[in-house]
Structure 1
Amino acid sequence: MVKLPRVGLRMLKSVLAVWLCLMLGLLRPGGMPFYSAIAAVLCTQPDVQGSLKVGLNRTVGTLLGGAAGMGMLYALKGMGVPALGAGHYTLIALALLPLMYLTVLLEKRPATYITCVVFLSVTISHGADSVPWLFALNRVVDTLIGIAVALAVNFLLPGGRGGERLKRGKGDALRPTK
């Protein structure tokens, strides 16, 4: 008989975090719990320290990508570039280079992928919207909700491997403890 791996605490925390995001989505008209759920899954790590690290990178990437995407849509509209055409797509692709480089300059390389994902989500999925800032804003807010929920779940529930939690130390700094 084959011994199957057990369902781990990280899996259970991820499911709980996603469920909470979906329930919060019901309370937020205009919100898209899809993005909260994705952020919750990605930010739920085996320990609180890992969740904080991933959450910070996701926050930076989401804010950069959302702001750049919103700016790009307004710039394209201002230049009269037809939405979702070859020119639109070419300029979006070219805009990725300075956006990626910005994460390097800011010393936030781990945030590069999410910066690009959010930028592309805003500029491609909603490039033809009449009010592009509304999607960008909701996209950022929903992602931040998912990050916050994942951090809360990981902080409040018992630790996984290593049993790490955070506690206040001298100077009110948060640090992991066992």
Structure 2
Amino acid sequence: MPEFPRKDFQLHVGWRTIKTAVSAMLVAIVYCLIGRNPAFACIGVIFGMGVDMRDSIQNGGNRLFGTLIGGLLSIGVFWVYLLFYPQGGHTVFLAVLLGAATVILILLCQYFWPGGVQPGGVVLCIVLFSTPIESYVSYALNRILDTAIGVIVALLVNYFLPRARVVAFWEGLKGLFRMGSKV
């Protein structure tokens, strides 16, 4: 069982923390300026920012492919639901469809991207139980788009600002300041 609170904990704000915070902030600012809700794009950034590109691709891929599979599956399941209950309102039937959809989600994720089960399940549940009938398709598609944008931003930031490049830049700046103080 993990120790709580950790005895070895030391407060540390590292490069990954800074990249994550700045990327999320920039995405949120852009989204606010264009009048869109930044929540899912920012979640995509936070999931997608890894310690290196390999970690970012794994974590961001989990979020992106899970959201893609769960979002598209939720559209199909909601469509089936509306065939039987066009006005909605029968949540027990929707719960039964969720059970079947969860099996399908897990199988699809096992085939395409195993780490996508959890984020795919989140999107599936949100669309099925929290989205109005009139907007379930656009809602699901927007979640996929926003997540993709967030993950792509995280991947780009991690690609262009890897730790090695930033440390080298920082050391160079420190060297310049040391040289300048000797003059």
Relative to the length of structure 1, the TM-score reads 0.78
- By how many angstroms is 1:3 displaced? 8.8
2:24, 2:42 within 8 Å by CA — same for their partners in 1?
A: yes
Q: Which runs of no fewer than 5 residues in structure 1 stay unpaired?
A: 164-178
Residue 158 (structure 1) aligned to one of 143, 151, 162: 162
2:69, 2:108 within 8 Å by CA — same for their partners in 1?
A: no
The structure that is helix-richer by fraction is 2
Q: Percent identity?
A: 27
- By how many angstroms is 1:56 displaced? 2.2
Residue 50 (structure 2) aligned to one of 25, 40, 45: 45
Distance in 1 separating the partners of 2:94 and 2:47: 30
- By how many angstroms is 1:70 displaced? 1.1
Residue 138 (structure 1) aligned to one of 133, 142, 146: 142
Show the counterpart of 1:24.
Answer: 30
Q: Which runs of no fewer than 5 residues in structure 2 stay unpaired?
A: 1-7, 168-183
Point out the more displaced range, 130-139 or 74-83.
74-83
Distance in 1 separating the partners of 2:89 and 2:33: 32
| Equivalent residues, number | 157
Show the counterpart of 1:83.
Answer: 89
Amino acid at match of 2:145: V
Structure 1 residues 116-166: Cα deviation after superposition (integer angstroms, max 9, x where no partner): 11211221221x331211111111111111101111111122327xx8xxx
2:52, 2:162 within 8 Å by CA — same for their partners in 1?
A: no
CA 99–47 in structure 1, closer or farther in 2 if over 3 Å, else same: same
Residue 97 in 1 paired to residue 99 in 2? no
Residue 111 (structure 1) aligned to one of 111, 116, 127: 116
Point out the more displaced range, 88-97 or 76-85.
76-85
CA 83–27 in structure 1, closer or farther in 2 if over 3 Å, else same: farther
Structure 1 residues 93-124: Cα deviation after superposition (integer angstroms, max 9, x where no partner): 332112112222x1521111122112112212
- By how many angstroms is 1:45 displaced? 0.7
1:20, 1:149 within 8 Å by CA — same for their partners in 2?
A: no
Structure 1 residues 14-69: Cα deviation after superposition (integer angstroms, max 9, x where no partner): 1011112201212444x331111111111111111210222223222111111001
The structure that is strand-richer by fraction is 1
Amino acid at match of 2:97: L
